[in-house]
Amino acid sequence: SLYRERERARAGEEQRENPKQTPCCQHRLKPRVLKELQLGAGLQALSLKGKRGLGAIFQDQVVNTRQYLEHVKDSTTGTQGRVVKLFTNHFRVTSRPELLTYKYNIDYMPEIEDGKVRTDLLCQHKHVIGECHIFDGNSLLLPHKLQNRWGKKIVKVTIEFCSELKPTSLDCLRYYNILFRKILKMMDLKQVGRNYYNENEATEFLNHKLVIWPGYSTSILEYETSITLCADVNHKLLRMQTAYDLIMHVDNKSQRKDAKEISKELVGSIVFTKYNNRTYRVDAINWEETPRSTFKKSGGEEITFVDYYKEQQHGLVVTDLTQPLLVSKGKWKKSQQDTPHEPIMLVPELCYLTGLTDEMRKDYRVMRDLAMHTRLDPEKRQHELRRFMNIVQNAQRELQLWDLKFDPNFVSFSGRIMKEVRILQGSRAVRPFQSDWSKETRSGPLLNVKSLDHWLVLYPRRNYGAALSLLQSLRKVTPTMGIAMRDAKMLEVNDTVQSYTTILENHVSSKTQMVISFLLSFKVLCVLSSDRKDLYDGIKKYLCVNCPIPSQCVVARTLDKPQTLMTIATKIAQQMNCKMGGALWKVEIGLRNAMFVGIDCFHDIVNRRKSIAGFVSSVNQELTQWFSQCVFQEAGQELVSGLKACLEAALKLWYKHNLFLPQSIIVYRDGVGDGQLQALIEHEVPQIRSSLKSNGFLSIHVTSDTRFAMLFFLSENKLTCCIPVLCDSRYDFFIVSQSVKDGTVTPTHYNVIHDTVHFTPDGIQCLTYRLCHMYYNLSGVIRVPAPCHYAHKLAYLVGQSIHQEPHYSLASRLFYL
């Protein structure tokens, strides 16, 4: 499909412009570039082959999800709401090649693997292929046809005719993207991953030891009936600290960190090497090897890391010859989880740290200063993109060779502002103020309250005051919300997982409703002295698997500010009420006897554990109770294989609560890339259909990708639904459900892939928007429908902390909030 091809194009470009072998990999090192270029110097002839058949022609197979949806055959555009003019970060291609272009496959004998060398060898023959050409490392696109009149000499470069491409061919988009990336390089931008950054305009934060590189992400794609350039502003955050600095860091007591502490900080982090502009994930530290260690190059000769960087990496000098080496296993790919990979060895001194530490995220000044440069409001974002397009226009020569021209103005279209959704809480109807109704939720009775009669509060001795303050605040806020709360049993613990679990074993009974830990847990409430992951994970695992009781964990530090204590206590009380089976509010969905399902997956790319698929489904018609189940899968597996069993269990619970089966089932599937859309239709949709008889079934694919559209409002920044049709073969739309004070909202893209309920465009758009109001962990509108986010929270908790199937008795509780 168009979307799969775009993903393949992106992957292909990145692979060819950044070959897999790296100069710091002792097992992946290829023959020296110099040697290959010397070999290529003798290249004096080419070999040209004719067309070898249809097998070499790119044939687009569009995933046509609209062809069977007769009820939207004429139009997928809604009409409800007030029409407003919007514009997006797309720029139309106003001119492109109108004649046939010719595609050739390029082969080398002997094989040359380095993409740059392949390009240099081919470019020695510009007198043959011409100045106007696009080469991706394997195939060549020309505006003219070559003539067969060459022989062969030292290196045989075979140019094999593949196909003629019409101007409207989607395969041309891949070459246009390659051409545009060439222009970005001419603008002196450095490629890091998929995006390009301007090191010369970097902003340094000396107080925080941070550097931000401004940059851009771009993609040329088909939009409605034309081709557009989608561009957005991007930022790369680097630290003025190398991995070596972290290893050699001395604490306040003038003591060096031990190997265990260093590994804890470094392993799993991402480092950046400036000599090749690449990022690597640190998987381990090799304390036995140093820069003096040797490795064998592919030619068989041995060389030390020190000599290699000095001789072959622009004279880089490694100063500390006793430092250990970092180990990276390379980029993890879902399709290659069982394939053994040789490690990449990195010298810490040459590896810059990226991202923010936990301490930095807690520092208000750091986050404030970064936000000022990275959170661009629509006006600033427009300004930066206009400046970018002006620079692009200066690269006229490369563009003119292919007759490519871009409209410097943003693409505009019509959107619609949706009607506000009423929030029903008890006997009251609340209208949100700027997408928020937190004040209203704490000023009156909740929709369905659960009394807190038997519950425990666990706290370390030094956090007794914080625990006591929280309890006092809870007593003040719960009566207004209608929650009856008896005194909790307070238990002192040591700051270890074993201490928490031992106390729980001795005091939890069948009557216990909640545990709060400081950290905090319900019916068990646990107050934690810090946000240590091992402590949180241990408590959650015990209370979700071994002793299934709703729990709430609270970090004591969050209770230090008296001015926010009442707000925090309100949030905790509401969460406790939800986890015990209560409900905060509801909205008028406008659809009766319908079950809503959310599906999302969690992949642990750091520890490479099993992937977790989270499945949640509504139990009642008010959408205030939810059933949940997890499916454990192979690492990296996105498509879910156990949906039939999950849906059958969900239908049984629905029938138990309602005494009838739902008439329709609406599934929101998050987390699947557009490249997997056809596989999703073939693998998951049949599982759901096989569990249904006469039920209507609607499946919606949910994505949030700024490569499609980033909306800018001309006059208002309100809740907006806009429907740009990306492809005539799709029944899709965008919704911007949130309103933000800072930055620019990313729209969420919805694609209806199966519909036997026969929703109208207005019906499904309004329904989806209303579901964004039903997430109980926020008194406001969220970016995606509540079922999606519940499934995400479930999969994340199980994948990050529990690593086991939660106890079945918690399946009908929102224990994962």
Q: Provide the annotated active-site residues.
A: 600, 638, 670, 792
Q: d(Cα 552, Cα 817) in Å, to the nearest integer?
A: 9
Segment (H or E) for 794: helix 786-797
Residue 530 carries which side chain, given as an amino acid letter? S
Which tokens sit at 656?
A: 């138990």
668 CB contacts (<8 Å, ≥6 apart)? 596, 597, 598, 599, 700, 702, 768, 771, 784, 785, 787, 788
SS3 category, 521: coil
Considering only CA atoms, which of 579, 617, 620, 655 is closest in space to residue 786?
A: 617
Which distant-in-sequence residues (6+ apart) come within 8 Å of 26 by Cβ? 295, 296, 305, 345
Q: 737-773: string of b/e by CB count within 10 Å (b at 16+)?
A: bbbeeeebbbbbbbbbbbbbbebebbebbbbbbbbbb
Alpha helices in 580-690 (DSSP H): 643-658, 677-690
Strands 611-618 and 594-602: antiparallel
Tokens at 283, concatenated = 């998987």
- Residue 168: count other Cβ atoms within 10 Å of its Cβ: 10
Which of 161, 170, 178 shows the shortest CA–CA distance to 56?
161
Rounded (10°) CA dihedral 733, 737, 743, 744: 20
Distance CA 134, CA 181 (A): 11
Residue type, 105: N
Alpha helices in 18-124 (DSSP H): 33-41, 115-123
Classify burial at 77, counting beta carbons within 10 Å of its beta carbon; exposed 0-12, middle 13-18, buried 19 or more: middle
Cα–Cα nearest to 415, from 697, 139, 745, 159: 745
CB-based contact 516:551 (threshold 8 Å): yes
Find residue 616's DSSP bridge partners: 598, 628
Nearest of 125, 122, 129 to residue 145 by alpha carbon: 129
Distance, CA of 214 to CA of 408 (rounded, Å) = 20
| Nearest one of 75, 76, 87, 84 to 700, comparing CA atoms | 76
The single-letter code of the amino acid at 578 is C
Helix (H) or strand (E) holding 702: strand 696-703
Residue 511: partners with Cβ closer than 8 Å, 6 or more residues away: 453, 454
796 Cα distance to chain centroid: 13
Round to whole Å and give the CA distance between 782 and 797: 19
3-state secondary structure 719-781: CEEECCCCCCCCEEEEEECCCCCCCCCCCEEEEEEEECCCCCHHHHHHHHHHHCCCCCCCCEC
